[in-house]
Amino acid sequence: MKLNHRATLSILALAVASSVCSIGLAGLQLKPQRAAADVVINTAIVAELNGVHDSLKDIPPSMQNGVLARHGVSSEQALDDSLEAQRSHLTQAEQARAQELQGSDKRSTLLLVLSLFNACATVLSAISLYEAYRAIRRRSTP
């Protein structure tokens, strides 16, 4: 077997392996992203608690207990504690989302590199097959 044929077969074998990896990575990219929902939910909760906290400053003291009770808190201190706890949950959810996005970006980059390699391997194989075809035709014509 000629060196040119061995090189072509090696490139094709690598292209097959990278195609299999590309399929696996594409499947991982389609996996649902769960951290996004936590960020949205915790953002809504923090926004509501911030609104209640800010509105308590404008409400007369006689009505504050009713507003606090409607939102499930017994005192302004309990509201502050709940707000801080929700902020920490939001921070954790944002960090989880950032890690999820970073992993997705890495997989996307790898998928792009593998796809480019497959395209190059396809072009090189087509050129090699065309050259082999031309060589056979040259030998067969007198």
Q: What is the pLDDT of residue 34?
A: 84
Q: What is the pLDDT of residues 92-124, one digit of tens each?
A: 999 999 999 999 999 999 999 998 998 888 888
Take residue 85 and report the two structure tokens written for it: 């706890």
- Please state, in angstroms and rounded to a whole number, the distance separating the CA atoms of residues 91 and 121: 45
**Rounded distance, CA 86 to CA 53, Å?**
13
- pLDDT-based confidence at 142, cuts 50/70/90? low
- Tell me: pLDDT of 90 over 90: yes
The Cα 113–Cα 96 span in angstroms is 26
Q: Residue 125 has which token pair?
A: 């194989």
pLDDT given at position 99: 94
Cβ(94)–Cβ(39) below 8 Å:
yes
